[in-house]
Amino acid sequence: MVREELSINITPLIDVVFLLLIFFMITTTFNRENRLQLTLPKTQVELMKSQPAQIEIVVAKDGKYTVNGRGLLDRRTETLRQVLELESQGDLNIPILLIADAEATHQSVITVMDAVGQSGFFRLNIATQRPEEIEQPLFDPN
């Protein structure tokens, strides 16, 4: 019995790969980046100084509020809203930074967040302060 030698003809495979290569070369688009020269307007320094970069509200451990370094007379939401309106000069895009003492109550922090939301501000950042005393470690290696 005579056996024929098996051979694989890869010519059709090469033809298909070649056709795919031509197809992708033709359909590919090349973007040329255009560079524009922009002349940006210059701002006036006086305008920048009149408006604060952010409004900082500090909630103390006893629940008292301080807005940009000035303490409030009481803890009412209305008082806080009025002070926010005065400090922002009507600009609701100014970010609010809420800094709460680590031992402040949740209610005092939520009250500030509620007043900020009712005033129409939408950029609120929250930070915390560590307690003054250093906490003792749970495990003493000595």
- How far apart are the two ends of the chain, measured CA to CA in Å? 90
Whether 102 has a pLDDT exceeding 50, the answer reads yes
Whether 17 has a pLDDT exceeding 90, the answer reads yes
Beta bridge partners of 137: none
pLDDT of residue 134: 42
For each of the domains in the chain, give its residue range(s) and CATH number, in order of start: 50-129 (3.30.420.270)
pLDDT of residue 129: 58
DSSP the chain: -PPPPP----HHHHHHHHHHHHHHHHH------------PPPPPHHHHHHS-S-EEEEE-TTS-EEETTEE-SS--HHHHHHHHHHHHTT-TTS-EEEEEETTS-HHHHHHHHHHHHHHT---EEEEEE--SSPPPPS----
Whether 75 has a pLDDT exceeding 50, the answer reads yes
Q: pLDDT per residue over 108-138, tens digit each?
A: 888 888 888 888 887 888 876 555 544 444 4
Q: Is the pTM of this model over 0.85?
A: no
